[in-house]
Structure 1
């Protein structure tokens, strides 16, 4: 199988180059795991138009699996593939955007919480009145059969 893949790689077949990169990435077909070599092959395949290779480059850079993590570089590769119609890259871009929005939202309440509590306290104070208190007492009395 490896010989067949290498033969197609020699002819500049983007799919075969991408597949050989995958084999180096996972260390299969008798090849030792070699992430830098996988990246070289995926880069070549991506330049030849392989969206799967572009996606794989995005994944390794984004996650830092076998290379130094570089999220912007990973996102760049996913954007390149997504613009050409790769659904998985579009999905990962959406997940990344969602994570960033959640992080921004989670950070926000710490700054606005005191104002929210003050607003709640003010609203409670505004609803207090002697008539309201009397109505509560009458409601309780009626509920208990007085």
Structure 2
């Protein structure tokens, strides 16, 4: 069974990641499916309804950016980014920070960037650094963001190392077929 067929099977089962992925494929027209914005939105909304924070993030991007071929709807984009951010999606926090910064709501922007940088988002950390250079936040706040970013980065690398070691242990114990 090819990857697209398997993905479509998981979509029929209402799997959130499969719905999100197929929606993004229809947005870009990948895998020979061709662009189909209405179908993409349908899949992304279904994915968001069953709890995909990635779908909320992508819907925020689609409604915020008129380049997707639909009418820009900023309040709707912000609702989706807020839902994704509340579910722990750092990219959505970053976008909320950008939006608040564009509105000159520096405190709110900093709060979003701070949360995202502590989740390991390097773009948010860079925004805090820029805000510090422009005196929109203090060096102490930047230092706090940097420490949080480094902790998140260390944790991520430790998790990857643990996953690799667990895989190697299973592989070496003969539980997986050798090719």
Normalising TM by the smaller chain, what interval? 0.5 to 0.7
The CA deviation string for residues 36-57 of structure 1, in whole angstroms up to 9 with x for no partner, is: 1111100000111100000000
Q: CA RMSD in A?
A: 1.1
For 1:57, what is the secondary structure of its paired residue?
helix
Q: Secondary structure of 2:104's match?
A: helix
Does residue 21 of structure 2 align to residue 9 of structure 1? no
Distance between the aligned counterparts of 2:86 and 2:23, measured in 1?
Answer: 23
> Match of 1:79?
82
Task: Choose the corresponding residue for 1:24, options 15, 23, 26.
Answer: 26
1:132 corresponds to: none
The answer for unaligned runs of 5 or more in structure 1 is 103-146
Residue 49 (structure 1) aligned with residue 33 (structure 2): no
Runs of 4+ in structure 1 off by over 2 angstroms are none
Provide TM-score, normalisation by structure 2.
0.55
Q: How many pairs align? A: 102
- For the pair shown, the structure with the greater C-alpha radius of gyration is 1
TM-score, normalised relative to structure 1: 0.67
The separation in 2 between residues aligned to 1:18 and 1:75, in whole angstroms, is: 18
